[in-house]
Structure 1
């Protein structure tokens, strides 16, 4: 891959010029339309991989009037529902070239480089949105309050707020904000009442309240979304006997939140109690998901195979099957941390195929950095010679995740294009596409 050093000012100017030209051409082609909003959307970003430039969507008052059958229209803000969700760039080749330059910049080094490029790109998009609004605010074919913005995830109002003037955000988007500003409360109790109206939007705020949030959260376990409360109790309840007692009883007394309570007890380190419930047919699935939690989520847990190994050695066949299903290839895992490297390497030596597969998959994390790579990559390369075909296949995929750092093992990876197993051969072909 060729080295690049993107000229960000030139990149921003060229990208602005391309989209300005596209919108001007659209206006010329639609002289009877009055635009109230432009939105960049459907962009795609995959960490350590591709960054796709977004589409530029346009909508007009006339389009809404035709759709709604009235002149007094209700403005729509989801660009995928607009009449023109993707207007063509006049100079598509130039836009494609810019996307290539952006991806060269993102992928020329470490994962840290990719993340820095993504962050800078988003800032560019915010500035372009503001510049387009300024450029066309007085155009005869736009409304006086035209809005231009980058539409990210539905819940990402931070980016939207950066694009849109506060006056217009308050006028058009404040009611859509899932996390509106809360006036100063008269008491912590009042504040918790407000947070618990939508606890999924206020996790950090609730955690900041500490012990004073515990009793309201316990009471909320009986509500429809009580699983959110259980998760928060799993972070707040360390050393609190009341929390432990409530969560323990809730596993069997509150079926709606049983799984979330089991997860919370695992987070609080109450593993031996969970084990006592493993033979309860109603609780067993919740317990298995809880004890495999430490093999999936590494923000609050260190990787530790010992508890799962205990059940794979001595548990019932039913429990073994459920554990294997929970950690099988294709399951969702967070990235491990540097502190997990010793345990993931130990996992490679396990007598249990499910654990060896799991360890190989976790080793794909290039974000651990080059120092970690020096330990992980030689061990991953050894797995290319494993007797089990699926281990060989997963090792190929994990090595691919390390990009240029895996070049010393390219010949060994290439050799698997002649592997006796069809799936391994197909994976090797994919890796070298």
Structure 2
């Protein structure tokens, strides 16, 4: 792909939208920002380029009091292109359509690593377009329509979007125009330089939403940085455990502390004993009852992540722990909770497969937690064997889960060579409609690795007993047709 030509096409198109709008704008020193906004990126899937948006001080003033609210962040009305006077200046030009098609071919024409590389280069190109567009507009005949602090940025209201804005604007303009984000970044740098013990205390205070004046942490900061604190404490690893254990006893912090202990993954006797004690503790009859029950369930999930599923089953058999709590705990290692863990235990379906023999009443409750749509874990290469075994399990819920996780194209060609035939076998032979449907979706996800299965796609689209499965196979056929024609999957 010619990335320089791609970048130039985007710049030319943006200028073709903005310059006429500025010429038609009657007010001088009024337009304060242009944004490339609305970029859509689906990992290993389509990348849709942003469109141009523009706003003026006069238009912002017309929004009333709401325009003055905010803290100088991308989430304020001032920096929300969807609410601007010119929110979507899409050209619809053939050149832009060709550029997006070229990008799609580059991004989706290989493996997942190729998609990620193309995505990075695309963002780099868009940042440069913003910088060049700003310079070109300042040098144009309509520069008098721009405010002295006029800015051009690539807009996305996310953590990544903040980093994009910083790259587009530069340090000085970023600090002036987005002081809320600049203050957060400065605070993060300050905290990163603290000694480990103080940094740990800082993040624990954020987790509890409590100020720590001696560390320079205000209550408002603590309340805003709770999610970042969880990431930081997880990165501390086992060193954070002694400080997390006391938080288990507090209803207000039990959920976060238990989740972090499970994600850190150190199954020490102290951690296991503390989690077990909280799971067995009676839920108080108070206004915090719902939160306390949620905490117990997450403690059960943390125990399962630490390899203590057998103990949870024993409590269910003995009647010392409710089935709902045990079922949620047993199900946790198969969901998205696991994806954040530092070093999760390998995928293992045996705890679920043991339920019909040891505690059959739990199975329908576990099925509710593992059913499609509840979220699933990301399969790792060393877990492919267990997922393939799960695809042959006597339990439908296990076969469904295995079919979901086996559609992981990022595992690479060697895994695909083993996985695709197993999924194809499930499409033909599994008695469960949902397993067949999920297996078709997984084969679709494997793209080129499943090209040889086209006869299966045709037969399934024509003859499966389920409308849902036939429709999924028809969509899979479309992907195969696109691949054969050298067109990126839609």
What's the TM-score, normalizing by structure 2?
0.79
Distance 1:237 1:249 in 2: 18
The answer to whether the 8 A contact 2:130-2:153 is kept is yes
In structure 2, the residue matched to 1:285 is: 324
Larger mean CA deviation between 307-316 and 244-253 belongs to 244-253
The answer to whether the 8 A contact 1:61-1:73 is kept is no
The answer to whether the 8 A contact 2:437-2:472 is kept is yes
Q: What is the Cα deviation at residue 208 of structure 1?
A: 4.4
In structure 1, the residue matched to 2:240 is: 213
In structure 1, the residue matched to 2:81 is: 79
Distance 1:211 1:423 in 2: 47
Name the SS for the 2:109 alignment partner.
coil
In structure 1, the residue matched to 2:351 is: 307
Distance 1:123 1:7 in 2: 14
1:28 equivalent in alignment to 2:23: yes
In 2 relative to 1, CA 315–375 (structure 1 residues): closer, same or farther, beyond 3 Å? same
In 2 relative to 1, CA 269–148 (structure 1 residues): closer, same or farther, beyond 3 Å? same
RMSD of aligned residue pairs (Cα, Å): 2.7
> 1:355-410 deviations in whole A, cap 9, x for unaligned?
11221222211111111111111121112211523333222221111112211110
In structure 1, the residue matched to 2:219 is: none
Name the SS for the 1:84 alignment partner.
coil
1:97-246 correspondence to structure 2 within 5 Å: 97-137=98-138, 139-156=143-160, 157-176=162-181, 180-183=187-190, 188-195=196-203, 196=206, 197=222, 198-221=225-248, 222=250, 224-236=252-264, 238-246=266-274
Q: What is the Cα deviation at residue 189 of structure 1?
A: 4.9
The answer to whether the 8 A contact 1:43-1:52 is kept is yes
In 2 relative to 1, CA 176–278 (structure 1 residues): closer, same or farther, beyond 3 Å? farther
In 2 relative to 1, CA 260–149 (structure 1 residues): closer, same or farther, beyond 3 Å? farther
In structure 2, the residue matched to 1:3 is: none
Distance 1:49 1:206 in 2: 32
The answer to whether the 8 A contact 2:55-2:86 is kept is yes
Q: What is the Cα deviation at residue 131 of structure 1?
A: 1.6
Query: What is the aligned residue count?
Result: 426
1:428 equivalent in alignment to 2:473: yes
In 2 relative to 1, CA 12–225 (structure 1 residues): closer, same or farther, beyond 3 Å? farther
> 1:147-167 deviations in whole A, cap 9, x for unaligned?
222222423222222222111
The answer to whether the 8 A contact 2:265-2:305 is kept is no
Distance 1:67 1:365 in 2: 46
In 2 relative to 1, CA 94–287 (structure 1 residues): closer, same or farther, beyond 3 Å? same
1:359 equivalent in alignment to 2:410: no
The answer to whether the 8 A contact 1:364-1:401 is kept is yes
In structure 1, the residue matched to 2:334 is: 295
Larger mean CA deviation between 346-355 and 70-79 belongs to 70-79
In 2 relative to 1, CA 315–402 (structure 1 residues): closer, same or farther, beyond 3 Å? same
1:68 equivalent in alignment to 2:111: no
Distance 2:227 2:67 in 1: 38
In 2 relative to 1, CA 120–77 (structure 1 residues): closer, same or farther, beyond 3 Å? same
Higher fraction of helix: 2
Distance 2:468 2:272 in 1: 47
In structure 2, the residue matched to 1:262 is: 300
Distance 1:124 1:392 in 2: 42
The answer to whether the 8 A contact 2:306-2:345 is kept is no
Q: What is the Cα deviation at residue 122 of structure 1?
A: 1.1
